[in-house]
Structure 1
Amino acid sequence: MDYRIATSADAPPQIDAILVEVPQDDGPFGARGVGEHPMVPTIPAIANAIYDAIGLRVGSPPFTAEKVYLAMVEAGLVE
């Protein structure tokens, strides 16, 4: 089953960023790579959106339509 990977077009129109300065011990002068951070919250955000929508935690990623449906069947939410 094909599923579409979430992109920036799927993000809400406004996101309030909170900057937290935590140095990276193994980075130069405590620095981190700039491109690494956007990927950290993506999967948990999608998992939480599914939970918010149907009230169930759906196993592990990738969160395909089939996995969501089977979790709903197992929980008795659909026939």
Structure 2
Amino acid sequence: MVLETSPPCHVVAVAHYPIRLSQFLKLADIVADGAAAKELIRQQRVSVNSAVELRRGRQLQKNDRVIVDGTWYTCG
């Protein structure tokens, strides 16, 4: 019997949807500012719902999953 386990997921409370990916990264304290978010995304280190995302303006909705360097975050 094989049990599948998912990595720990951090739920980030978002007050209003949609929220831009760069704003979400700042809200989750992953980056300090928009320039850092842009660089992280440019380096292809961010995925949204299991797909690498290259647009910092990507609109996120409730329950979207963001993965940064192997750490999972959920829009809550």
Say whether the fold is shared (TM-score over 0.5).
Answer: no
TM-score, length of structure 1 as denominator length: 0.30
More helix by share: 1
Tell me the TM-score normalized by structure 2. 0.31
Q: Which has the larger radius of gyration?
A: 1
